[in-house]
């Protein structure tokens, strides 16, 4: 199981790097300049109606002679991750303040940067584009309540499917082929109830 978990982590890392690198390499080759209507730098919370909203974050990074920099794709990938991190701080950041011995104030920021949270933030982000303006790279990403909800459900289902597979390995009495319908359902409540009942009674 340790080897399996290690391979899963490696595959996630490779997919993440591959996703960013592919898009960025195309940009580097096209040498795209910023259009006039490119989103301005900063964070914007936009209310669409009573039940829907979107969060748009645009950030920049200075890079001398950016268009000709051989590491342009990697700089863009890191800028995208910076925007994802800004989104996570905007949604879940906790700020605490304590007095220092000098009579000033020290502020500490705390946010959840776990892989599970990062995965949700990346998957639910809409890429609004990357562009280059002289010696500055800009990237803009957007999140909506709808995309956040959809991704959260997908990840929850994937985690429950993984738990079913793990249960079939840990408990020989549980034969997953006898409950194949569980692997095709999109009802997390059904999966949770099944897992809870099996763990308590070893039956459904």
What's the pLDDT tens digit per position in 82-102? 999 999 988 875 655 577 777
Query: Domain locations in the chain?
Result: 2-114+125-143
Arithmetic mean of pLDDT, 174-190: 88
The pLDDT of residue 6: 42
Whole-number mean pLDDT of the chain? 81
**Residue 28 corresponds to which tokens in the numbers above?**
């580097």
Query: Which two tokens mark 172?
Result: 């020989």
How many other CB atoms are found less than 10 A from the CB of residue 131? 16
- Smallest CA-to-CA distance from 44 within 30, 58, 31, 33 is with 58
What pLDDT, on a 0 to 100 scale, did the predictor assign at position 14? 47
In the block, residue with structure tokens 């429950």: 160
Q: How would residue 10 be classed by pLDDT, with cut points 50, 70 and 90?
A: very low
Report for 27-36, 39-48, 103-112, 164-173: range of highest mean pLDDT: 39-48
- Using the predicted structure, report yes or no on whether residue 149 has a pLDDT greater than 70: yes
pLDDT tens-place string over residues 19-60: 555 454 545 545 567 888 999 999 999 998 878 899 999 999
Do residues 59 and 138 lie in contact, with contact meaning Cβ atoms separated by under 8 Å? yes
Q: Is the model's pTM score more than 0.85?
A: no
Report pLDDT for 15. 47
Residue pair 112/141 in contact by the 8 Å Cβ criterion: no
pLDDT tier, 69 (very low <50, low <70, confident <90, very high otherwise) = confident
Any idea which residue has 């959260």 for tokens? 152
User: How much is the average pLDDT of 176-194?
Assistant: 89
The residue whose two tokens read 């940009």 is 27
């Amino acid at each position: 199981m340790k080897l399996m978990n290690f391979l899963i982590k490696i595959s996630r890392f490779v997919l993440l790097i591959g996703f960013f690198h592919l898009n960025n390499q195309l940009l580097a080759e096209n040498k795209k300049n910023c259009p006039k209507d490119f989103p301005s730098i900063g964070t914007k919370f936009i209310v669409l109606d009573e039940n829907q909203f979107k969060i748009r974050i645009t950030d920049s990074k200075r890079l001398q002679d950016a268009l000709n920099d051989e590491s342009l794709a990697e700089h863009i990938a890191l800028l995208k991750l910076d925007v994802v991190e800004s989104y996570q701080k905007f949604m879940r950041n906790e700020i605490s303040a304590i007095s220092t011995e000098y009579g000033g104030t020290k502020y500490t920021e705390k946010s959840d940067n776990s892989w599970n949270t990062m995965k949700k933030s990346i998957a639910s982000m809409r890429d609004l584009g990357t562009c280059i303006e002289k010696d500055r790279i800009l990237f803009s990403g957007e999140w909506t309540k709808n995309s956040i909800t959809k991704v959260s459900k997908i990840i929850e289902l994937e985690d429950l499917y993984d738990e079913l597979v793990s249960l079939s390995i840990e408990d020989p009495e549980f034969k997953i082929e006898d409950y194949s319908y569980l692997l095709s359902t999109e009802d997390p409540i059904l999966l949770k109830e099944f897992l809870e009942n099996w763990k308590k009674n070893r039956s459904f």
